[in-house]
Amino acid sequence: MSGFSQREDALENKFAFDETKRFRAEARRNKLLAQWVGDRTKMSADEIAAYAVEIIQSDLKTPGDADVLAKVVADLKSRGVIVSNETVRNEMTRCYQAAAEQTAKEG
């Protein structure tokens, strides 16, 4: 019984570790995405930092990436930058990959 309990604990710990890594990578992705939006809309560094917080908060409202995608597309449109959902989704993927690599190096 003890061996089973230890194995169960190890699996729970791995799950918690993986979820923490995923959360950190998604938060970093959102910061990188804010930088991408800021570059296209000529935001200042302070505006980009504030926008990153907005994206992170938006991402926490509902599961999945649809809320972030909709926010970014709408925000770009409101600033006169028209991009497709596919373009933003591709950038989100690129940002996530970069963020995952960055957070993996950090430990």
Domain residue extents for the chain: 2-106
> For the whole model, what pTM was predicted?
0.84
Using H for helix, E for strand and C for coil, what is the string for the chain? Answer: CHHHHHHHHHHHHHHHHHHHHHHHHHHHHHHHHHHHHHHHHCCCHHHHHHHHHHHHHHHHHCCCCHHHHHHHHHHHHHCCCCCCHHHHHHHHHHHHHHHHHHHHHHC
Quote the pLDDT of residue 81. Answer: 96
Spatial distance between the Cα atoms of 36 and 5, rounded to a whole number of angstroms: 46
Quote the pLDDT of residue 107. Answer: 65
Show the low-confidence residues of the chain (pLDDT under 50). none
Q: Which CATH architecture has domain 2-106?
A: Orthogonal Bundle (1.10)
Helix orientation angle between 85-106 and 2-41, rounded to the nearest 10 degrees: 130
